[in-house]
Amino acid sequence: MCVADQINCLFHFEILQSVSGPGLAFITFTEVVTRMPGAQIWSILFFLMLSCLGLSSMFGLIHGILTPFTEIPLVTKYLRKEVSCGIICFASFLLGLLFTTRSGSYWLEVFDSYGSLTLLIISLLELCSVVYVYGLKR
């Protein structure tokens, strides 16, 4: 096997990888948008849409963390809701810095692959606790 074949195989692998995950939004779709008529306006609209989607997802994420956090009596006794929200946003910012490092794409892959398993386990534990508290018949 010659070196050119190995380079071609690696290039083919990279192209297949770019069609999924973040590569879909930042490589494939942008390539499609640049080939459309009026590419500049479509690019601006596309990335504006991505920014709005990211911002709206963060509202849901912060609200999903903030609501159970503020229902703890000890937290509401010492911290106002605005301070709690600021702490959660700052912690999310620090966690997000992990994805901007050189190994950020690796960390994204780790979080993406193990996040679904954790969510499944938490959902099953929540189901068991609701059945335990309310009973199976109710």
Q: 57 labelled as ligand-binding? A: yes
Burial 80-89 (b: 16+ CB within 10 A, else e): eeeebbeebe
Find, among 14, 40, 105, the residue nearest to 30 by Cα: 40
Q: 117 labelled as ligand-binding? A: no
Q: Report the alpha-carbon distance of residue 90 to residue 104 in Å, rounded.
A: 19
Please state the residue numbers annotated as binding site: 53, 57
Please state the residue numbers annotated as binding site for Na(+): 53, 57
